[in-house]
Amino acid sequence: MSAVLEVRDLQTRFDTLDGVVRAVDGVSFDVARGETLGIVGESGCGKSVTALSILRLIPPETGRIVGGSIRFEGRELTALPEHEMKGLRGHQISMIFQEPMTSLNPVLTVGTQIAENVVRHLGVSWSAARDRAREMLDLVRIADAKRRLDEYPHQLSGGMRQRVMIAMALSCDPQVLIADEPTTALDVTIQAQILDLMLELKEKTGTAIVLITHDLGVVAETTERVVVMYAGRKVEEAPVEALFDDPLHPYTRGLMQAIPRLDVEADAAGRRPRLQEIPGLVPILTKSIVGCAFAARCPLATERCRREAPVETDVGGGHRVACWETAR
């Protein structure tokens, strides 16, 4: 599989009152054409900043990409002039966010917003763009698309707004769709509908999806490969089955044991198995981390882990882990 997007040793930093935050600290991964890649981790692990870095949406007043490379179809994005980047965003690479209401313009109709994107990137007439908008609303299964085109975002439910965002994101046939917690704000039954829709559209359009989430259930059910991040670094990468069958990094293992599971039974007395806790706290990202970022919380950590950052090792079948102890 050829990669449509290659991220190498990405480093993104932010200036804060407490010092410089190393939000993304040397992350590398590929996105293959038409695949669904999950990026999973807890808050502050750098997963969203990775996405924003790819689209060069890091606010320049506070943050910047300080190192590494992002190659999209062979083009280096970190060095691309802003006007070329603008031509790319929403066209070849597009993005949807957690809360659609904050990314939709409240004073423009849904149809205008979708058509605007089409006019801008494909240079077609407004009436052709409007036809495309209607076609897109049909595609994301919004009933009565013709009428909905003339409605404003506040007239739609949360699930419908996310459908509109998806319609807009896919309106110019992007190669990559980055979805940052797209269903986190939605109810369970609506989440299922949106996830199914995204996968179905991926099959139809061949768009690769980068799905960023904290939810291991969503990862398990929708992705093909997964990158696990911790404290700005990638700790593990694997095909989804391998990751859930045989998690290698102690952090990944900790996460899997910490989630309450629908499929794990209480014992005969109805007592619930105790959830595994990961002791301690995430390291502070304003200080440079020596050795493995997880060492302070890791049950397997040795002297070496505290001294030397682990090198990523491929243990076979595309399963890679950055751990001195488990990568054997």
Partner 1 sequence: MSAAKDPPVLEVDGLVKHFPIVGGLLQRKVGAVRAVDGVSFAIRRGETLGLVGESGCGKSTIGKTVLKLVEPTAGRIVLGGEDVTHLPPGKMWAHRRRIQTIFQDPYSSMNPRLAAGTIVGEPLENFGLSRGAETSARVAKLFERVGLRPEAMRKYAHEFSGGQRQRLGIAKALSVNPDVIVADEPVSALDVSVQAQVLNLLIDLQEEYGLAYLFISHDLAVMRHISHRIAVMYLGRIVELTDKRTLFERPLHPYTEALLSAATAPDPRRRRSRRRLVQGDVPSPAKPPPGCHFHTRCPYALPECRVTAPPLVEVAPGHQVACLRRPPGDAGAPLSIPA
Contact positions toward partner 1, by CB under 8 A?
42-43, 157, 159-160, 187-193, 195-196, 214-222, 240-241, 244, 254-256, 258-263, 266, 270, 272, 274-278, 281
Which amino acid, residue 80?
Answer: L
Whichever of 82 and 265 has its CB closer to partner 1, that residue is 265
Q: Of 89, 132, 140, give the one whose Cα is nearest residue 111.
A: 132
Q: Are 44 and 16 in contact (CB under 8 A)?
A: no
Q: Kindly state the smallest distance separating residue 102's Cβ from partner 1, in Å.
A: 17
Q: Which is nearer to partner 1, 240 or 301 (CB)?
A: 240
Q: The tokens 């966010």 sit on which residue?
A: 97
Q: Which is nearer to partner 1, 43 or 288 (CB)?
A: 43
Rg (CA), the chain: 21
Residue with Cβ nearer partner 1 (66 or 259) = 259
Residues 47 and 39 sit within 8 Å (Cβ to Cβ): yes
Nearer Cβ to partner 1, position 117 or 191? 191
Q: Could you count the other beta carbons within 10 Å of the beta carbon of residue 24? A: 32
State in angstroms the smallest separation of the CB of 292 from partner 1.
17
Least separation in angstroms between CB 272 and partner 1: 6
Q: Which is nearer to partner 1, 2 or 43 (CB)?
A: 43
Q: How far is the CB of 112 from partner 1 (least distance, A)?
A: 23
When the beta carbons of 102 and 189 are compared against partner 1, the nearer one is 189
Closer to partner 1 by Cβ: residue 17 or 311: 17
69, 9 in Cβ contact below 8 A? yes
Minimum gap (Å) between residue 197 Cβ and partner 1: 10
Query: In the beta sheet, which residues pair with residue 176?
Result: 93, 208
Residue among 102, 139, 99, 136 nearest 117 (CA): 136
